[in-house]
Structure 1
Amino acid sequence: MPTSACDYIDEKFEKELQNLPPVATLPPLEKRPVFWLEKGRFAKGIKFDHLYVKNETGVWLRYKDERKEDLFLQKDMPGRYYGYDEIDRSPDEMWVRRELKHYEYGIYDISLFENEAKIFSQTAYKVVRKFIGFFNLHSMRGTSFAAPQGTEENLNAIRGLQIPLESFPKNPNEPWLVQPSKLEARGYSGDKIAKKLARNIFEIPGEGWRQTMRINSGAKDIKVICGDEICLALAFDESKINSCDNGTASTAIYTLNLKQKFNNFHTLTSRNFNYVKLGDKYSLDDVKSFKIVLSRFRYIKGYNKGREITDYEVILQNSEGEQVNEICRNEIQKLDNHTQ
């Protein structure tokens, strides 16, 4: 476990932060739903498990990690709630690691609102030291502290105000596909087109439940296709063209496990999901079904050049059952035989 004995410590820098005037203590408050008021993806100054966001449609749930979806909860705002806002004034991450020699250094102007009225604000300085206990090519996270005095207590108090609007897992971790290396790995398929309510909002049916999900992607078009166990979200982002050998836009592919409500779409560990594109004569409208099978691939350049692997392959099909997608040949090449 990291300890300060194994960390890089800049005594002058840390003393300057710790000598800042103490901050006022957040008064005791009753727990209420906490809404995210900033335009960014998620709060960085406080480690919330989840936050709520609202728009003209209603109230949405957003989990803490880097998933790209919001889950619809209800149409109306609760009568009493808190709003949390922060302005991120952190220095450049590479400068922090190169010049300051710390793992992270964040500066956040945080504000707490009771409905629309601001009731608390302060600037929080958060430092994560760099672990130097043994030689490693990559910088590792060490111990952390917050300044000025009283900041850690305030951040924890604000985080502790959050309550669920309804019962849902704090952070669902249901596996969405079995890892290819395991013997029980098998294929998946689906041909049910999910109902699209807007460009990026879909109605997902599960086992005894129905969930409206908003996919926060800048892709021009998105399509969701479901099977009995998983759904596949296909996002065509014209701005991302560096994944394919011929400069065409690639397809971001996400999977959703249908075993449990309040799951999010996940990207897979399979490298092949990053290297999929539609054939030149096809569009997203042509995609009517999918299959996920195990196939054999070979690396064609880089450190792993020549190495063969078994991994997932996504096969997108039209109404005639023809495959409409290809694997980009920039790093990996599919071999002829499947390993089903």
Structure 2
Amino acid sequence: MPTSACDYIDEKFEKELQNLPPVAALPPLDKRPVFWLGEKKFAGGAKFDYLYIKDDFGVWLRYEDSDSDDFLLQKDMPERYYGYDEIDRSPDERWVSRELGYYSYGIYDISLFKNEAKIFSQTAYKVVRKFIGFFNLHSMRGTSFAAPQGTEENLNAISELQTPLADFPQKQNYSALGPAYKSEAEGYVGDEIAKKLARNTFEIKGEGWQQTVRVNSLAKDTKVVCGDEICLALAFDESKVNGCDNGAASTTIYTLNLKQKFRDFYMLPSKNFKYAKISDNFTLDDVKSFEIILSKFRDLGGLDKGSEYIDYEVILRNGEGEQVNEICRNQTEKVGDRTQ
């Protein structure tokens, strides 16, 4: 387990933080739902497993480990709640690692509101040391501390205020397809277009339940197509090409498992999902169905150049059954038929 004996420590830097004037303690408060008021997707100062967001649609749930999705819970605000806001003034992450020598260093101007009234504010400094106990090609997290004195206690007290508004899993269940090379991997099909409420907001129907889900993508347009077991969210972004061979806009593909509510849309770490694109003669509107099969591919670049592997192949079709997408061929190429 990491200990300070195995951490990188800059004594001058840490002493400067420890010498900051102590902060006042947060007064004792009752538990209430905590709403996120910050500009980023999720809080970085106080630690939460989930937060609530309010907008014109209603009250949304957002998990810490799945901030790419929001789940609509209800229309109206509760009578009693807290608002949590923070302004992130953290230095650049690369500078922190390269020049300061730490794993992370966050500076947050935090504020807590009881309904609309501000009741507490302070600047919090959060440091995670770099673990250097043994040789490793990647930086590892070491021990952490918060400054000034009293900050750790205040951040913990704010985190402990959160309470559920509805019955939902308080830890997100990942819903990605399993690794394609495993024996239980299988293919999927779907042709039901999910009802679209806004550019990135959809009604998703499972077995005996319905849920409004928002995909937090900045893509110009999104579309969700569902089958019996999974849905695909297709995010069409003309500003990104992801190394496609002819410079065409890429389509980021997310998967959603329909076995349970409050599952997240999850982007698979698959090259064939990451480097998919809509062919030049088609648009996202043309997509009417999908098919996911297992195929053999060859890597065309990087450390694994030339190696073969089994992966998911995503085929998007229009109403006439024509394939409307392709994989960027300067990244991978298909070398085998479907693997059973």
Determine the structure 2 residue equivalent to 1:279: 279
Matched residue, 1:11: 11
Structure 2 match to 1:224: 224
Alignment of 1:71 onto 2:71: yes
Match of 1:120 in 2: 120
**CA deviation digits over 1:278-337, x for unaligned, max 9?**
111111121111111101100112221110000011011112222111110122111242
Partner SS state of residue 213, structure 1: strand
User: In the TM superposition, what is the alpha-carbon distance from 1:174 to its structure 2 partner?
Assistant: 4.2
Give me the TM-score of the superposition, normalised by structure 2: 0.97
Q: 5 Å matches for 1:77-226? A: 77-226=77-226
Partner of 2:53: 53
Question: After superposition, what is the alpha-carbon deviation per residue over 1:5-38, rounded to whole angstroms, capped at 9, x for unaligned?
Answer: 1101111111111121211111110000100111
Unaligned runs of 5+ in 2: none
Report the equivalent of 1:268.
Answer: 268
Report the 3-state secondary structure (helix = DSSP H, G, I; strand = E; otherwise coil) of the residue aligned with 1:338: coil
Whole-Å Cα distance in 2 between the matches of residues 121 and 67 of structure 1?
25
Structure 1 95/174 Cα, relative in aligned 2: closer, same or farther at 3 Å?
A: closer
Give the structure 1 partner of residue 36 of structure 2. 36
Within the alignment, does 1:307 sit opposite 2:307 as a pair?
A: yes
Count residues in correspondence.
Answer: 340
Matched, 1:330 2:324: no
Give yes or no for contact 1:327–1:334 (8 Å, CA) kept in 2: no
1:49 partner letter: D
Q: Which amino acid letter does the alignment assign opposite residue 208 of structure 1?
A: G
Q: Equivalent residue for 1:254?
A: 254
Q: What residue identity is the alignment partner of 1:139?
A: S
Cα distance, 1:66 vs structure 2: 4.7
> What is the CA distance between 1:206 and its match in structure 2?
0.6
Inter-CA distance 242–178: structure 2 relative to 1 (3 Å threshold): closer
- Percent same amino acid at aligned positions? 73
- Give the RMSD, CA atoms, in angstroms: 1.1
Question: Aligned equivalents of 1:25 and 1:297: distance in 2?
Answer: 58
How far the C-alpha of 1:111 sits from its partner, in A, is 0.4
Secondary structure of 2:266 counterpart:
coil
Paired residues of 2:175 and 2:263 also in contact (CA < 8 A) = no
Looking at structure 2, the residues matched to 168 and 243 of structure 1 have their Cα atoms a distance apart, in angstroms, of: 39
Q: What is the TM-score normalised by the length of structure 1? A: 0.97
| CA distance in structure 1 between the aligned counterparts of 2:97 and 2:117, rounded to whole angstroms | 38
Three-state SS of the structure 2 residue aligned to 1:146 is strand
Q: What is the deviation of 1:172?
A: 2.2
CA–CA distance in structure 1, aligned partners of residues 321 and 178 of structure 2:
25
